[in-house]
Amino acid sequence: MIRSTIAAGICIGVLVVPHAYSQESSDGALEEIIVTAQKRAESLQDVPVSITAFSGEALARRQIRGPEDLALSVPNMQTNNVLGDGVPIFSLRGISMSDFSLSQNGPIATYYDEVYKGNVALLGLAFYDIERVEVLKGPQGTLYGKNTTGGAINLVSRAPDFSNEAYISLSAGNFNYWQAEGAGQLALSDTVAARVAFTWAEADGWMENEFAGAPDANSIDQYGLRASLRYAPSDRFDLVLRASTSLQNPWNYGVSSSPTEVGIGGTIYPFFGIPADFAEGIDRREINTPDVYRRRLRTDAVALTANWKVTDALTVVSISSWDEGSVLNHEDGDATPLEVSDAVYSGETRQFSQDLRLASDLDGPANFILGVYYNRERISNSTTNWFSTDIDVNEDGQVDAQDCIDGGFFPTCGYGNEFDQDKDSFAVYSDLQYKITDRLTARAGLRYTKDSGDLNNFRAILTDLNGNPLFNIIPGSDDLGATTSRDFDDDDISGKIGLDYELAADMMVYASYSRGYRGASFNAQAIFSPAELTIADPETLDAVEVGFKSELAGASLRLNGAAFWYGYKDQQFIDIDPDTTIAALINLPESEIIGGELELQWLPVADLTLTSGLGLLKSEIKEGTSQGQDVSGNELVSAPELNFSLAIDWTLPLWTSNWELDAHADGTHVSRQYFDILNRPTTTQDGYEVFNARLRARPADDRYGISLWVKNITNSIYYTNMIDVAGLGFLYNHVSAPRTFGLTFDARF
């Protein structure tokens, strides 16, 4: 079935047309797209890998301000915003992570200037002063420092060069949105250059709060600053030092809670004479709660990148980095005046990484990249879940610590854990290519990875209303301060083999087999029982991909496509019981994913570019159980069968010959998807569409411009995450942002 679907989709894609950032060149052809996905500067059309790439200009046209926006423009890519904007959990080709604890590393790696940002607390504000974004699909490991099963997202900032320039961008919009972004660089000498970039934004919350005097949720309050220094004494040595900091401190996200038939809190409150809340008159983008808190995310990072051309044929690259991030997230899980469910997540992360590689540029048929990688991550984490802290269980006229005891240790109680986690990863990797003929190239890579992890000082505690410990749940002891530990030590050999053949100067076909690996993980959400404190086994992915890349009609039309098969084993996922909210981190033994993508760029006439992307997926669990139920035959989470995007860019002359209008419009369709592997109707998001547009007026020299923009034109409402917690009487949902619009002025100096 999926084969015929892919074939039909390819035919449709040829007739319609995917996104790309290139515009026309001087001879009417599409501009060449240069990427570094294979750790070499290459044309996108010469890389036998499925890649979606955007320039900084394309990001601005599409109003892509963060990872959440990026997913709408990449075939077979989704984001889950369970931790709020700026802390995304990615899904790519159906490979995803359902564990939303702050201690996990996802199967989709994010690299910022080639530095692996493993923990969600480390990414911060990365989407400013960006040169380009590259999204690589499929297992990565033979070229990248950290091994991943699903893919990699490369964010490349603008490095200093030896010219003096600057730009500024100022925006205003609805919800009292204000934003400023800019950068400036200076050549300090013939060998030293510096660049400083910043971003700042604030906005009122778009999640309207009906509770009198309480703030609206989902606001914006953030800034980021990055300074870069470049030293290039010769064409053989280049050193770039980057330091950055960012802070996000908005009013937290609001939960779009949907009551079950008994109402929010209906499984508890009526027993104490308190009616449940049915959220009457509350829309999906509204809440009614006094409990809206600030969410704080702080990052600091330093990275040193050195490129040394030892000889004409050999280059040494060293990337050293230090990162630190912290998260404080206090959420009202039910978003009502009742205190059904509150949670506080806090964590601090510190990371050091070193990537060292040797790359060749030989005249003969063979070339190689050899590398070693080390990553050290330290996490301190604390989580507390509060339940029904407004019930006077013993009816003594006050809600206090005794109510937790008298209520049987659930109402008016807190359940939480705290721990320290250390992870170390060491790898040796290689990537080899050999030109068998002028047109046929063989590629191979091999990687050895050794991972170790230590979970220390772990304890889960039952507390009263005031946070005083009552019982030691894990490890389970009369000593309230008792802790326990866990550890793992794994290693793995993974790799890739492939062939690519140049049919003509402007057409290539390729085929590859690769194996991805993701290391073991601790269950950081173990709270209610010692049996929850488990270690999920490493997951692996066998991937077969065939694809083509082509330029047609005098390079005015670019069509790239790929089809793939994935054998997914031991996927790590969090299994939440809706009745008890107990979360177990388990392995799903076996799944299969079949799919394909088309990306096409077309310049039919001068100044008009049509771009489009098509993604098709068919995921199926072959073996596995969830909450005692056989889930064989079900679909994986965040794996819609179809997503399609179309964009139009058109430059038109205005009332004088000195002014032009850059018009942009884009739209995306995403089909139905599930948010749990039981594929319950309560956690199913139906298909939806999102449309955006921008008009930018500018003089012919493009030194400055004025833009009108709108995002989510039709005010489409859809969920970015859904969790069934029927045991508390509601469905926990995160909802999409509403229509936003505004005006931007930009200038270059």
Per-residue pLDDT, 39: 76
**375-386 confidence digits (pLDDT tens):** 999 999 999 999
**386-417 confidence digits (pLDDT tens):** 999 999 999 999 998 899 999 888 899 999 99
Count of C-beta atoms within a 10 Å radius of residue 12: 13
Q: pLDDT > 70: what percent of the chain?
A: 95
Tokens 């980057």, residue? 242
581: pLDDT confidence band, cut at 50, 70 and 90? low
The answer to whether residue 422 scores a pLDDT higher than 50 is: yes
The answer to whether residue 88 scores a pLDDT higher than 50 is: yes
**426-478 confidence digits (pLDDT tens):** 999 999 999 999 999 999 999 999 999 999 999 999 999 888 999 999 999 99
CA-to-CA dists, residue 422 to 349, 531, 633, angstroms = 10, 21, 37
Helix (H) or strand (E) holding 467: none
158: pLDDT confidence band, cut at 50, 70 and 90? very high
Per-residue pLDDT, 27: 58
**339-370 confidence digits (pLDDT tens):** 999 999 999 999 999 999 999 999 999 999 99
Q: How far is CA 590 from the centre of its chain?
A: 24
- 203 Cβ contact list (under 8 Å, min separation 6): 173, 175, 176, 177, 178, 219, 220
Pick from 561, 682, 541: nearest CA to 614 = 561
Per-residue pLDDT, 515: 94
The answer to whether residue 243 scores a pLDDT higher than 90 is: yes
17: pLDDT confidence band, cut at 50, 70 and 90? very low
282 vs 289: CA distance, rounded Å = 11
Three-state SS for 88-115 is: CEEEECCECCCCCCCCCCCCEEEEECCE
The region that residue 175 occupies, defined by phi over 0 for left and psi between -120 and 50 for alpha, beta otherwise, is left
Are 298 and 349 contacting, i.e. CB atoms less than 8 angstroms apart? no
87 vs 72: CA distance, rounded Å = 16
Count of C-beta atoms within a 10 Å radius of residue 293: 16
Q: pTM of this prediction?
A: 0.91
Average pLDDT value over all residues in the chain: 90
Per-residue pLDDT, 287: 97
Per the structure, how many domains does the chain have?
1
The more confident residue out of 565 and 532 is: 565
The answer to whether residue 4 scores a pLDDT higher than 60 is: no
User: What token pair was written down for 613?
Assistant: 């992307």
- 38 Cβ contact list (under 8 Å, min separation 6): 47, 49, 143, 431
CA dihedral 106, 548, 156, 64 (to 10 degrees): -80
The answer to whether residue 176 scores a pLDDT higher than 80 is: yes
Least confident of 150-154, 193-197, 447-451, 653-657: 653-657
The answer to whether residue 3 scores a pLDDT higher than 50 is: no
Per-residue pLDDT, 584: 80
Structural domain boundaries enclosing 448: 2-748
Q: pLDDT > 90: what percent of the chain?
A: 74
Per-residue pLDDT, 85: 74
Bridge partners for 208 per DSSP:
286
Per-residue pLDDT, 26: 44
| CATH code assigned at 21 | 2.40.170.20
Strands 220-234 and 192-203, bridge-based pairing: antiparallel
197: pLDDT confidence band, cut at 50, 70 and 90? very high
